[in-house]
Chain A
Amino acid sequence: MAERQSAQSGLTKWFLLAGLVLVLAGVPLAVKSVYFLRILILVYVYVIATCSLRTIAISGQMSMGHAGFMGIGAYTSALLAKELGWTPWLTMPLGALATMIVAILVGFPFSRLRTFYFSMVSLLFGIAIMGVNTIFGQYTGGIYGLTRVPPLFTAGSAWYYFFFLALTVLSLLVLHRFESCRIGTSLKAVAQSREVAASVGIDETGYRVLALSVGCFMVGLAGAGYAHYNLVLSESSFDLLASINLVAYMMVGGMGSFAGPIVGAVVLASVPELFRGLKMFAPYVFAGIVILVIFLVPQGFVGLYQKTAMRFVKSDGGRRGGAS
């Protein structure tokens, strides 16, 4: 009985989500503004990046260099397409693969470090990646940026929008399955207690490297897509500040649930664009939201929603909140 009810509510959830995707897919038919679509596309890129950051975070690793990994995917794909003339449709998966390989290579030594130490070393890694950009400046453009990246579609085409929407849906489906099956349970177990996890046979290093490589594959893919849309790459998109922004998106939305980073990225990534008229105030609005959320609702927007919803359903503080 209970099982059937939960299966039914699960079905309702999927219908609602499918409806939402359909509505989003219809946006270019209603809105012709290329500028507005651009904002949405950038939000999609950040949604993928933030969700993939959470995949790493649930294994107990707070990466402070995630935008750096995004840069690896972006630059790899852009350079392969530009220098070798390969089609972006091939170089984008290759860019993601390259990001994942780098993540595996650094993952093994990094996974020996925990909590704060992992954050520090991932932060330094993010900075070091920018150093590589400068060293190979004759190919990457260095601090002047990489220009004339081969495009995916003709400029301003609505196909870009559909492509990024599809990429986002696909990435989120993959990340959601990854964390809701038994692999995800093991990841969360490692984060809570590595001793207890090891005592039931969970290989801490293996699972942490797995989480890092899956998260980095996804952000590499998002970065590669971005490269062939923006057509110009500059360091500042992937630097320390960009990495910290991703962490802020995740925290504001709430780390505790899958929806958290999505909400956080949608709200915060659109702030600088919505306040474009008052561009100089955008950073303050951004910082204001982050600070307020950290002080008032440390569990994030989605955490707050779950808590409130629970209060109406039943008053039982000890039980677990709503669906993840």
Chain B
Amino acid sequence: MLLEIKALTKLFGGLTALGHLDLHVDEGEIVGLIGPNGAGKTTVFNLITGFIRPTSGQIIFDEKDITSMKPHLVAKLGIARTFQLNPLFAEFTVLENVIASFYLHPKSRWRDAFFNTPTYRRNERQITGEALAMLELLGLDKVKDNLAKNLPHGYQKLLGIARALASRPRLLLLDEPLGGMNQDEIEFAMRIIDKTRGQGITILLVEHNMQIMDIVDRVVVINFGLKICEGTIQEVRENQRVVEAYFGVEDPA
């Protein structure tokens, strides 16, 4: 088990954003976290990555307790994430956005970086090369010198994924990766996500667009901060509580 969440609870004031959530993700899996708007999906991500602290419960990553750990330290352990809104460094170029992610595992020491030694320059060239390869993979190489803020929305989303992948995560958290994309971009993004599976990356994703279910191994459905169902996509589709959560309870009259 790569990620294990035990009885995770988060209260905002008196409001239960998340109640006793149990969730696990095995190595190499793609797990979908779905639920209606406001169900608490992004809260789960924010809790895992340390942006907010849980009221109670435990988060275990690779047999290590990471509950309430600082975000940058969580990232160093190998958990990368994308963001629904503002997913990138707006004033950086596309290439710089990806290069910044490579510094998670710095190749050069500060001393080398500051004095611009040959070692540093060689390492930087290598990083640039790898970043370019990453952009090529995601079809962003043509816009590499554009400022990230000037990109169309779908490209920004792809860049968010490129950024996260460049940090070489073991677990990747994707927050609505297909949101705001057109059909071509959706199919392309899904191929990319599917491809990462072969590279030893485990994925937990939040998504509204049901096309994603083609590549997801397992689904966890939450509503009002509570888990209402878990299983393969087929099992979930037939679950009465899921249908009720999305379409409401049928009027008996």
Instruction: Identify the A interface with B (CB < 8 A).
Output: 177-178, 181-183, 185-186, 188-189, 192-193, 195-204, 318-320
The 4 closest A-B CB pairs, nearest first, are A198-B71, A201-B75, A201-B104, A181-B113
Distance A181 CA – B124 CA, assembled complex (angstroms)? 9
B80 neighbours in A (Cβ, 8 Å): 199-200
The answer to whether B91 touches A192 (Cβ under 8 A) is yes
B65 neighbours in A (Cβ, 8 Å): none
Distance A182 CA – B115 CA, assembled complex (angstroms)? 11
Distance A201 CA – B108 CA, assembled complex (angstroms)? 16
Q: Which residue of B lies closest to A194 (CB)?
A: B71
CB of B191 closer than 8 Å to a CB of A? no
Distance A308 CA – B83 CA, assembled complex (angstroms)? 36
Known: A199-B71, A200-B80. A182 touches B108 (CB 8 A): yes
Instruction: Identify the B interface with A (CB < 8 A).
Output: 49-51, 70-73, 75-76, 80-81, 83, 86-93, 96, 99-101, 103-104, 106, 108, 110, 113-116, 120, 124, 145-147, 150, 163-164, 167
Selected contact of A320 from candidates B72, B90, B93, CB within 8 Å: B93
Q: How far is the CB of B50 from chain A (nearest CB, A)?
A: 8
Selected contact of B51 from candidates A195, A203, A319, CB within 8 Å: A195
**Mind listing 10 A-B residue pairs with CB under 8 Å?**
A181-B113, A181-B114, A188-B89, A192-B89, A195-B86, A198-B71, A200-B80, A201-B73, A318-B146, A320-B145
Distance A177 CA – B70 CA, assembled complex (angstroms)? 29
Q: Which residue of A lies closest to B108 (CB)?
A: A182
Interface of B is mostly: mixed
Interface of A is mostly: helix
A186 neighbours in B (Cβ, 8 Å): 100, 103
B114 neighbours in A (Cβ, 8 Å): 177-178, 181, 183
A198 neighbours in B (Cβ, 8 Å): 49-51, 70-72, 75
The answer to whether B92 touches A177 (Cβ under 8 A) is no
Q: How far is the CB of A62 from chain B (nearest CB, A)?
A: 16
Q: Which residue of A lies closest to B125 (CB)?
A: A3
The answer to whether A192 touches B90 (Cβ under 8 A) is yes
B73 neighbours in A (Cβ, 8 Å): 201
Selected contact of B92 from candidates A178, A192, A199, CB within 8 Å: A192
Selected contact of B120 from candidates A181, A185, A193, A319, CB within 8 Å: A181
B50 neighbours in A (Cβ, 8 Å): 198
Distance A189 CA – B5 CA, assembled complex (angstroms)? 30
Selected contact of A200 from candidates B75, B115, B146, B150, CB within 8 Å: B75
